Amino acid sequence: MIEKDIKNERMMGPDSYIIIYELLKEKVTDEKIRILDLGCGKGLTSIYLAEKYKNAEIFAVDLWVEAKENYIFFKENNLDNRIIPLNCSAEKMPFAENYFDMIVSIDSYHYFGLEKDFFKYNIKPLLKENGEIYIAVPGLKDDYEKVPEDLEHHISQDDFKFFKSINHWENLIKKDLKEIKVQEMKCFDEAWQSWLSCDNPYAVEDIELLKADNEKYLNLISIKGKI
């Protein structure tokens, strides 16, 4: 388990440790599996995956965080032999088809996966038959074409375009998955409060956003399914 001060240093948004815990709570396996942690950020979710799935090999992919930085972090946690960090975009990943048993993406998929057929051409080919997908994204309780008036001073229209409803995500991805389940997550308050309590300057800015939202618009959405 990551110590709180280290976790606070490496968080990049609502607490990914709390989010991934809820997302994967029902997924239990001791099998040797290969997992892609897509948009791993500073590696917290990769550590969680390695701790939960003792026989798993984890590939930690992120576009913005340097692989060498994450490698040092994994080595400090004695997991450098099981977690492989890479720097690349979701559109150009260096993996063979049918390579992964499981793909996980926490608080990142909405930045690259909103285009029609992105999942079909960029994600689905990487999964083995009956491979599983687990995604968690920030979302909305309903569909809005523009930023609600309450949030106008706290979030730009450019940023708001990444926030979508359960209905939007389900319609976008359901044709490429079976046993799909898209739903609102329960850990919204806990994950956000953990983020807001750290001294990251971006977290400090988000305090006013959450106050303005007042539980009206924002949520967290989970997407689960098999190919």
Provide the pLDDT for residue 4.
87
- Strands (E) in the chain, as ranges, are 34-38, 57-62, 83-87, 100-106, 127-140, 164-165, 178-184, 218-226
- Region for 50 from its dihedrals, namely left if φ exceeds 0, alpha if ψ lies in -120 to 50, beta otherwise: alpha
Residue 211, domain extent: 4-226
Domain CATH code at residue 172: 3.40.50.150
Q: Tens digits of per-residue pLDDT, 120-162?
A: 999 999 999 999 999 999 999 999 989 999 999 999 999 999 9
Provide the pLDDT for residue 1.
73
Provide the pLDDT for residue 2.
85
**Nearest to 137, CA basis, from 117, 163, 173:** 163
Q: Is the pLDDT of residue 186 over 80?
A: yes
Q: Is the pLDDT of residue 218 over 80?
A: yes
Mean pLDDT confidence for 84-96: 97
Q: How many structural domains are present in the chain?
A: 1
Provide the pLDDT for residue 199.
86
- At 7, is the pLDDT very low, low, confident or very high (cuts 50, 70, 90)? very high
Distance, CA of 153 to CA of 197 (rounded, Å): 22
**Nearest to 104, CA basis, from 5, 2, 22, 202:** 22
Residue 195: enclosing H or E segment and its boundaries? helix 188-196
Does this model's pTM top 0.95? My answer is yes
Q: Tens digits of per-residue pLDDT, 21-61?
A: 999 999 999 999 999 999 999 999 999 999 999 999 999 99
